[in-house]
Homo-oligomer: A and B are copies of this chain.
Amino acid sequence: MAGLPRSIPVSSKPIITLTSDFGLDDAYVGVMKGVILGINPDVTLVDICHTIEPQNIQQAAFVLSTAIPYFPQDTIHLVVVDPGVGGARRPIILETDRAIFVAPDNGVLSYVVHAASSKRISKPTLMRLPPPLQAFEIAKPTYWHHPVSTTFHGRDIFAPIAAHISLGRPLEELGQSISSINVLPLPKPRTDARGNITGHVVHIDHFGNLITSIARGDLPPGSYSIRVAGHRIRSLSRSYEDGQGLLALIGSSGHLEIALKEGSAARLLGSKPGDEVHIIRRQSGQAREQSGAWVHCA
Contacts and interface: CB of A to CB of B under 8 A. Distances in A.
A12 B38 CA distance: 11
A30 interface: yes
Interface in A1-60: 12-13, 15, 17, 21-31, 33-35, 37-38, 41-42, 44-51, 54-55
A41 B33 CA distance: 19
A37 B207 contact: no
Nearest to A44: B37
Nearest to A65: B27
A27 B67 CA distance: 6
A206 B25 contact: yes
A282 interface: no
Q: Which of A30, A37, A45 has the most CB of B within 10 A?
A: A30
Given A26-B205, A242-B86, A34 B12 contact: no
A239 interface: yes
A291 interface: no
Contact of A30 (B17, B72, B238, B242): B17
A117 interface: no
A240 B85 contact: yes
B70 A38 contact: yes
A150 B251 CA distance: 8
A134 interface: no
A241 interface: yes
Contacts of A252: 149, 151-152, 155
